Amino acid sequence: MPNILLRDQDVPNIGTYEVYVQHGGYEGLRKALSMSPKEVIAVVKDSNLRGRGGAGFSTGMKWSFVPDVDGPKYVVVNADESEPGTFKDRQILEKNTQQLIEGALICAYAIQASTIYVYVRGEFWDIGFQLEREIEKARAAGWIGQNIGGSNWSCEMYVHWGAGAYICGEESAMLNSIEGKLGQPRVRPPFPAVSGLYGRPTVINNVETLANVPPIIVNGAAWYKSIGTEKSPGPKIFCMSGHIAKPGNYELPLGKTFRELIELAGGVRGGKKLKAILPSGASGPLLPGTDKVLDTPLTYEDVAALGSTLGSASVIILDEDTDMVWATLKMIKFFRHESCGKCTPCREGTYWLEQRLKAIYERRATRADVELIESVAKQMQGKSLCALGDFATSPVLSALKYWRDEFYAYVEPVKTTVRAPARKAVPVAMAGD
Amino acid sequence: MLKDKYAEQITKIFAKYPDKRSAIMPLLYLAQEHYGYVSPEGINEVAELCEIDPTQVKSIAGFYTMYRETPKGKYWLQVCTDLPCALVGADKFYHDLLDYLGIQDGDTTPDGLFTVEHVMCLAACDRAPMLQCNFRYVENLDMEKMKALIEQWRAEAAAEAQASSD
Ligand SMILES: Cc1cc2nc3c(=O)[nH]c(=O)nc-3n(C[C@H](O)[C@H](O)[C@H](O)COP(=O)(O)O)c2cc1C
Ligand code: SF4
């Protein structure tokens, strides 16, 4: 089957305007403009396209929450791609640029937005400029600007560069960042659909989500639903990294198994045995490389049933030689660095998780520290403003669930008399921090 | 002064947003380009252009990792050592690079050419080990390639120094 998202693998230079229009480009927007905005939303809703940025929320539903009010409305394209193991949006931005621009424009038409901002992570410096050049070509062709396609809808499109902060991938932090405020999440409600960028109705969608939209409009919701599974329809890009023979992006219909995906990417590197899988980067719980997991379909609901998440489908493969304490510490270091510091459980929790995990890894700890990190992680859950505070707990809790003995192997067994003061010591130090 | 050197770019930046404050991030990039880092003068000029208090601009600059608060080497090398890269040898690559240049984590070589830091995921996990050199990605690296690049950058810098002294 030809790729729907990674079209650059089938058509050279599809990302440029000239080649894109030769291959059916802008048919989706043309068709959308012949429909009413409500009809466009209905098709996307019916397709059951689910957000590819991580949460898997219905895209059509999200668009339908935008109120029909006068004044500016915004679309923000989430191109911040900073989850460890994720590099799919980058390929779309670089190589299928126009399909993203067209998808964002269809979204903007559907909610009658006046401006689109593409929030590109700052490290994608050159990619942002390339995107700007393609935006200019679309503008020259009349797809951006005043009275688009002869309609009475006008819309602008701009690139905004981030500057290195994972938290700005969180949608409300992203809005603050564009507004020139600290990139920290907002308290919700109000939700962005009602009061988002500059206090106006705003839709935030991931790059890959929007790249799905033009083919949905051209081919219809029924066609889209014929790909993938009933609850998780459509194609998905899987980013394969870590101990895998052929790392890279792979597009598959949702519903294939982990085993099929890993085989497609050449299997575990060096013929080693599989130990663990991170299905969604550092943010989703680790899974053991068992037959049960390998035979699980890659859908939002099936991966959730295993106790993990499909998320953005950034699949990191860990082979039999991987030290799980080391891997957990790596992930915790990431979250400690990226916590924006607004909520105490997340800010202090990630600090102490790193501190005690490091002690375990350096063999300076006791069994009590293993219990302690588990208790800290559990106490952090559900107590923060954004999902990062929960993401940060999942490496610790899932590693302890499946590989607890590896943590114990790093520490000396302790007598109960030692355990009690050690447990107390940390909360005291926390309070004074 | 930024407003003279980048007049046209600044006008374009302000035209993108309904609120002047939104221009802080793009203007900080201009300040960094001009001064080599986000200098106190740069902060003040951005604040004046956006009509807000300099302390607010400073807090924004401090929040993000891509704004340099101190001058860095001519080649600012940021190596990803996050989990996916580390699984395929990025930590060793990072330490070998530091040893080769004879510096410590985060330091700059005495000739002012290279600053080496480790950073979080750069969305290039399938091309590890990799680094970012002054906002450009250099991917699929090993120490042999790295040594050749360092020689190339040293020669480039020497040629520039020569040209400017002529
Ligand atoms: C800490 C954190 C980081 C996130 N980073 C990203 C990101 O880099 N890219 C992205 O598309 N979504 C990211 N998200 C999810 C966004 O908040 C949001 O759900 C998404 O952009 C919505 O788009 P979608 O419905 O098309 O998936 C992140 C969420 C959190 C909590
Ligand atoms: S949970 Fe963490 S990252 Fe999210 S708002 Fe709170 S402190 Fe910031």
Nearest residue by C-alpha to atom 4 in ligand 2 = A386
The residue in chain A having the minimum alpha-carbon distance to the alpha carbon of residue B67 is A163
H or E element: which one contains A76? strand A74-79
CB nearest to A123's CB, from B18, B84, B122: B122
Nearest CA-CA partner of A185 in A38, A328, A388, A355: A388
What residues of B are in contact with residue A165 (Cβ under 8 Å)? 63-65
Chain length of chain B? 166
Mutate-to-test residue for ligand 2 from A181, A332, A343, highest number of ligand atoms within 8 A of CB: A343
Structure tokens at A177: 């960042």
C-alpha A345 to ligand 2 mean position (Å)? 8
What residues of B are in contact with residue A92 (Cβ under 8 Å)? none
Domain CATH number, residue B88: 3.40.30.10
Torsion of CA A229, A235, A237, A242, to 10 degrees: 30
Model confidence, pTM? 0.94
Ligand 1 pocket check for A107: Cβ under 6 Å? no
Mean pLDDT for A274-292 is 97
Cβ proximity of A121 and A82 under 8 Å: yes
Ligand 1 pocket check for A102: Cβ under 6 Å? no
C-alpha A342 to ligand 2 mean position (Å)? 5
Look at strands A314-319 and A287-288 and give their pairing: unpaired
H or E element: which one contains A110? helix A97-111
> What single DSSP character describes residue A412?
B
Mutate-to-test residue for ligand 1 from A171, A191, A209, A237, highest number of ligand atoms within 8 A of CB: A171
Note whether residue B69 is domain-resident. Answer: no
Structure tokens at A196: 């988002």
Note whether residue B68 is domain-resident. Answer: no
- Report ipTM for this prediction: 0.95
Q: Is the pLDDT of residue A161 over 80?
A: yes
Nearest residue by C-alpha to atom 17 in ligand 1 = A170
CATH class of the domain whose range is A235-319: alpha beta
Q: Quick one: B19 and B83 in the same domain?
A: no
C-alpha B50 to ligand 2 mean position (Å)? 28
What is the reported pLDDT for A413? 61
Q: Is the pLDDT of residue A424 over 60?
A: no
Mean pLDDT for A135-152 is 97
Q: Which of the four pLDDT bands, split at 50, 70 and 90, describes residue A379?
A: very high
What is the least distance, in Å, from the CA of B18 to any CA of chain A? 8
Mean pLDDT for A103-128 is 98
Note whether residue B70 is domain-resident. Answer: no
Ligand 1 pocket check for A134: Cβ under 6 Å? no
Q: Quick one: B83 and B161 in the same domain?
A: yes
Residues in chain B with pLDDT values less than 50: none
Q: Which residues contact A270 (CB under 8 A, 6 or more apart)?
A: A243, A245, A319
Nearest CA-CA partner of A155 in A217, A101, A86, A94: A101
What residues of B are in contact with residue A282 (Cβ under 8 Å)? 83
What is the reported pLDDT for A422? 40
Inter-chain contact A163–B24, Cβ cutoff 8 Å? no
pLDDT: which is higher, A426 or A4: A4
Ligand 1 pocket check for A169: Cβ under 6 Å? yes
What percent of chain B lies above the pLDDT cut of 90? 95
Q: Which residues of A382-391 are buried (b: 16+ CB within 10 A; e: fewer)?
A: eebbbebbbb
A7-225 CATH fold? Rossmann fold (3.40.50)
Look at strands A314-319 and A274-282 and give their pairing: antiparallel
Mean pLDDT for A145-167 is 97
CATH 1.20.1740.10 at A324-411, yes or no: no
What is the reported pLDDT for B78? 96
DSSP string, chain B: -HHHHTHHHHHHHHHH-SSGGGGHHHHHHHHHHHHSS--HHHHHHHHHHHTS-HHHHHHHHHHSTTS-SS---SEEEEEE-SHHHHHTTHHHHHHHHHHHHT--TT-B-TTS-EEEEEES--S-GGG-S-EEETTEEE-S--HHHHHHHHHHHHHHHHHHHHHHH-
CB nearest to B120's CB, from A87, A166, A241: A166
Q: Which domain holds residue B115?
A: 75-165
Nearest CA-CA partner of A330 in B120, B131, B124: B120
Nearest CA-CA partner of A79 in B149, B73, B123: B123
Helices (H), A268-366: 291-294, 300-305, 324-338, 344-361
Q: Which of the four pLDDT bands, split at 50, 70 and 90, describes residue A428?
A: very low
Q: Quick one: B97 and B157 in the same domain?
A: yes
Amino acid at site A117: Y
Chains A & B: contacts with CB separation below 8 Å: 132
Q: Quick one: B47 and B91 in the same domain?
A: no
pLDDT tens digits for range A312-358: 999 999 999 999 999 999 999 999 999 999 999 999 999 999 999 99
Nearest CA-CA partner of A243 in A218, A210, A202, A277: A277
Nearest CA-CA partner of A213 in A92, A71, A325, A104: A104
Pick from B12, B31, B63: which residue ends a domain? Answer: B63
How far from each other are the two terminal CA atoms of chain A, in whole angstroms?
A: 57
Q: Which of the four pLDDT bands, split at 50, 70 and 90, describes residue A1?
A: confident
Over A116-150, what HEC string results?
EEEEECCCCHHHHHHHHHHHHHHHHCCCCECCHHH
Q: Which atom of ligand 2 is nearest to the CA of A384?
A: 1
Q: Quick one: B30 and B91 in the same domain?
A: no
d(CA B162, CA A102): 49
Phi, psi of A255 (to 5 degrees): 110, -10
CB nearest to B126's CB, from A248, A318, A331: A248
What residues of A are in contact with residue B24 (Cβ under 8 Å)? 180
Q: Quick one: B92 and B158 in the same domain?
A: yes
The structural domains of chain A, with segments of one domain joined by +, span 7-225, 235-319, 324-411
Across the beta sheet with B136-138, the strand order is: B114-119, B75-80, B131-133, B136-138
What residues of A are in contact with residue B65 (Cβ under 8 Å)? 163-165
Note whether residue B49 is domain-resident. Answer: yes
Q: Quick one: B91 and B155 in the same domain?
A: yes
Look at strands A314-319 and A235-242 and give their pairing: parallel
Number of domains in chain B: 2
Beta strands of A245-389 (E only): which ranges? Answer: 248-253, 274-282, 287-288, 314-319
C-alpha A171 to ligand 1 mean position (Å)? 6
d(CA A234, CA A99): 16
Note whether residue B38 is domain-resident. Answer: yes
Average pLDDT along chain A: 94
Q: Quick one: B15 and B91 in the same domain?
A: no
C-alpha A55 to ligand 1 mean position (Å)? 7
Ligand 1 pocket check for A53: Cβ under 6 Å? yes
What is the least distance, in Å, from the CA of A226 to any CA of chain B? 31
What is the reported pLDDT for A290? 98
Longest Cα pair distance anywhere in chain A, in angstroms? 79
The residue in chain B having the minimum alpha-carbon distance to the alpha carbon of residue A248 is B126
Q: Quick one: B79 and B161 in the same domain?
A: yes
Q: Is the pLDDT of residue A417 over 70?
A: no
Mean pLDDT for A66-95 is 97
- Residues on B contacting A at a C-beta cutoff of 8 Å: 16-19, 21-26, 28-29, 50, 59-60, 63-67, 82-84, 86-88, 119-128, 132, 135-137
Q: Quick one: B57 and B85 in the same domain?
A: no
Q: Quick one: B143 and B83 in the same domain?
A: yes
Structure tokens at A89: 């949006």
Ligand 1 pocket check for A52: Cβ under 6 Å? yes
Mutation test of the interface with chain B: which of A123, A238, A280, choosing the one with the most B Cβ atoms within 10 A?
Answer: A123
Inter-chain contact A82–B88, Cβ cutoff 8 Å? no
Mutate-to-test residue for ligand 2 from A380, A386, A391, A393, highest number of ligand atoms within 8 A of CB: A386
Cβ proximity of A32 and A106 under 8 Å: yes
Q: Quick one: B95 and B53 in the same domain?
A: no
Nearest CA-CA partner of A111 in A155, A58, A54: A155
pLDDT tens digits for range B96-135: 999 999 999 999 999 999 999 999 999 999 999 999 999 9
Ligand 1 pocket check for A285: Cβ under 6 Å? no
Mean pLDDT for A200-213 is 98
Domain CATH number, residue B43: 1.10.10.1590
What is the reported pLDDT for B1? 87
Q: Is the pLDDT of residue A420 over 80?
A: no
H or E element: which one contains A198? none
Pick from B63, B87, B106: which residue ends a domain? Answer: B63
Mutation test of the interface with chain A: which of B13, B43, B60, B63, choosing the one with the most A Cβ atoms within 10 A?
Answer: B63
Torsion of CA B141, B142, B147, B153, to 10 degrees: 10
Ligand 1 pocket check for A80: Cβ under 6 Å? yes
